[in-house]
Structure 1
Amino acid sequence: MATDRLGPWPHLGYAGFQLGRASERRAQTPEFLRDPAARACLIAGETVVLARHGEGLDAFFDVAHAGALGGRLGEACLLGFDGAVPHFVLPLHAASAGELTERSDLLLTDLRSIAVEGLVPPDQVGELACAKALLSWHARRTFCSNCGERLEVGEGGWRRECPNCAAQHFPRTDPVVIMLTVDGDNCLLGRSPRFKPGVWSCLAGFVEPGETFEDAARRETREEAGIGTGAARYLASQPWPFPMSVMIGFHLEAASRDIVIDEVELEGARWFSRAEVAAMMADRHPEGLTIPPPMAIAHHLIRAFVEGRDPPTG
């Protein structure tokens, strides 16, 4: 297939983080919060607050404004710096978020919708992904897993410290492999019961302790679809803040063809020809089948197969 047939390659969702992380300066967070130029986003669980500016939307507010909207300044986490301007995330109580829903100058939505619909620029989507994952970790790490003492927040939200046993706890990221198995002009796609009707995608699963990414990709493919695989080729990765993972994308070389699905994980798996997948991407498959949206890494792995080229890097 000609490489321009599907148009420009779409941006990979949640991968647009461009701030300088400045990890060596995180202890100065209280000082940075007082910077009149500082900006902050607001997140309450799955809800993100966006500001309306004419026809556009913005995920970031002046810190004072964000605090006035209910953002908890005492729990601010430093995301990084846009040049000299510090960016933060402020957690927001669900009740406070509820009070904002009727305001015409705001839009309350979720991070998936923001990425799928392209509501804010890619760099802001990347910052929101970091912010949401960081707050998800804090919500799950209130007490020390070593001694049970309530933890204190340090390093601008990038560490929790135990005042009793001095244990330090750091944000976690759970690695997940996602892979497209290829056999010549055919590829293997599966359907989870959680998918929208008609959507088929790559297989995926968590990496286990003591396992390489490549071995995890082969194991998950065998467990979910009964397909043996050989060579594994890395293509791309994607932050996935649901709640705090990173997706590591591969193409696998098929070593067998007979499918035996794990019915707990999948409701179906089948081989698709390159032409069929191209039709799915163009929303013209005769069965009405389709693939995940362009913001998802699965879309990029599948498109790479259809076009016979790797996704753009960076």
Structure 2
Amino acid sequence: MDITEGLLGPLLLSRSTIDRSAQLRHDPDWLERVWHDPSTRVLVISDGQTLVKRSGDEAELVLLTPAEAPEGQRHLLGVADGVAYFSVSAKLPDDADSAGLREAGSILGDRDAGLFVYAVALESWHATHRFCPQCGAETTVTQGGHVRVCPNDGSQHFPRVDPAVIMLIRDPDDRLLLARGPQWPEGRMSVLAGFVEPGESLEAALAREVFEEVGVRVSDPRYLGSQPWPFPRSLMLGFFARALTSDLTLDPKEIAEARWFTREELRVAVATGELRVPPPVSIARRLIETWYGSAIDEQGSWGR
């Protein structure tokens, strides 16, 4: 098994073939030199969208040379096979064929999926962390886009990720719990998830979120794998856990509907269109399919 795989197998947004080359971020001469190297490739990113070339059920990123790339903030993504890769935050052409991770993440190759996830996460962090949290001064970008420095107090600020637990809950009869948030349309359901709070372990966050949202106490949390989810900058940590009871008490602010499914009930609900499961690009989909025992027909999935 590849080191990037957990018990869930290869997750679509966890794939990458890029060496992040962290040590090279500290070398401004190297960064400038490779930026002018015609073999360097650049991914242009704009509000989570990038240029893509589609061919049937597959897609690849449209990568530019530095000379072709527009002006914008540059971020080093890493090196692969002697080629340096950067992202540039800039407006995409109005007539360009572009896509976001939700649309293209599952049909990109390993290299392109890794580049795209990385670029989206960095773009989002920079867009929301322009100012120093200590004094309010506008910060400057250094180390290939991986540090922002305050010119006033000298403090350094690094890209952050927000850990979130996502959990498939099974009751004593091995039924799956799916739920729908109030903002979701009817028929669209997923497993439960929530952010880890300060000073909280993953296991405690899992138990707290499940009880708060559906009133169920759980036991035996089992970690299965993780996947970046840069919407805007989460890291989803996937678990299975067992419910001690099947009675549901919903928090209406968080959950509009929740229901236990047997495997046959899930199959029928998806086949008839009554239920739309999460898209293949999500770790939620992989958790459900792991419990189900096989892939689920994508016709019953929602993608945006």
Q: Normalising by structure 2, what TM-score?
A: 0.86
SS class of match (2:17)? coil
Q: Distance in 1 between matches of 2:54 and 2:241?
A: 44
Shift of 1:21: 0.8
2:101 maps to: 111
- Cα distance in 1, alignment partners of residues 287 and 87 from structure 2: 31
Whether the 8 Å CA contact 1:192–1:266 is kept in 2: the answer is: yes
- SS of the residue 2:284 aligns to: helix
Q: Which amino acid aligns with 2:271?
A: R
DSSP 3-state at the match of 1:61: coil
Note the C-alpha offset of 1:236.
Answer: 1.4
Given that residues 11 and 295 in structure 1 are in contact (C-alpha distance below 8 angstroms), is that contact kept between their aligned partners in structure 2? no
- CA deviation after TM superposition for structure 1 residue 65, in Å: 5.0
Aligned to 2:301: none
Identify the residue that residue 304 of structure 1 maps to in structure 2: 290
The answer for the alignment partner of 1:129 in structure 2 is 117
Aligned to 2:51: 49
Q: Which residue of the partner structure matches residue 293 of structure 1? A: 279
* Partner SS, residue 50 of structure 1: strand
Paired residues in the alignment total 284
| C-alpha contact 2:36 2:66 (8 A) present in aligned 1 | no
Aligned to 2:22: 23
Separation in structure 1 between the aligned mates of residue 55 and residue 293 of structure 2, nearest angstrom: 38
| Residues 250, 50 of structure 1: alpha-carbon distance in 2 compared, 3 angstrom cutoff | same
**Structure 2 match to 1:163:** 151
CA contact (8 A) 1:234 1:250 kept: yes
Aligned residue in 1 for 2:129: 141
* TM-score, with structure 1 as normaliser: 0.84
| Distance in structure 1 (CA, Å) of the matches to 2:142 and 2:116 | 21
Q: Which moved more, 1:133-142 or 1:27-36?
A: 27-36
Q: Deviations over 1:37-72 (max 9, x none)?
A: 1011111113222246899743142333542xx342
Q: Which amino acid aligns with 1:115?
A: G
Amino acid at match of 2:38: P
**Conserved? CA contact 2:37–2:66, under 8 Å:** no
Measured in 1, the distance between the counterparts of 2:90 and 2:45 equals: 6
| Uncovered stretches (5+) of structure 1, i.e. residues with no partner | 1-8, 309-314
User: In structure 2, what is the Cα distance between the partners aligned to 1:170 and 1:243?
Assistant: 15
1:198 aligns with 2:187: yes
8 A Cα contact 1:230 1:253, kept in partner: yes
Query: What secondary structure is seen at the aligned counterpart in 2 of 1:76?
Result: strand
Q: Which residue matches 1:84?
A: 82
Contact 2:59–2:104 (CA under 8 A) maintained in structure 1: no
Q: Name structure 2 gaps, 5 residues minimum.
A: 1-7, 295-304
Matched, 1:275 2:275: no
What's the offset of the Cα at 1:278? 3.8
Deviation of 1:196 (Å)? 4.5
Partner of residue 5, structure 1: none
Inter-partner Cα distance in structure 1 for 2:248 and 2:38:
60
User: 2:38·2:67 contact (CA, 8 Å) conserved in 1?
Assistant: no
Once the two structures are TM-superposed, the CA of residue 279 in structure 1 deviates from its matched residue by: 3.9
Aligned residue identity for 1:45 = D
1:92 shift after superposition:
0.8
Letter in 2 for 1:174: D
Provide the rounded CA distance (Å) in 2 between the counterparts of 1:276 and 1:71: 53
Which of 213, 236, 240 lines up with 2:225 in the alignment? 236
Counterpart in the other structure of 2:204 = 215
The alignment partner of 2:151 has SS state of coil
Superposition deviation, residue 173 in structure 1: 0.2
Q: 1:264 aligns with which of 244, 253, 277?
A: 253
CA distance in 1, matches of 2:156, 2:9: 39
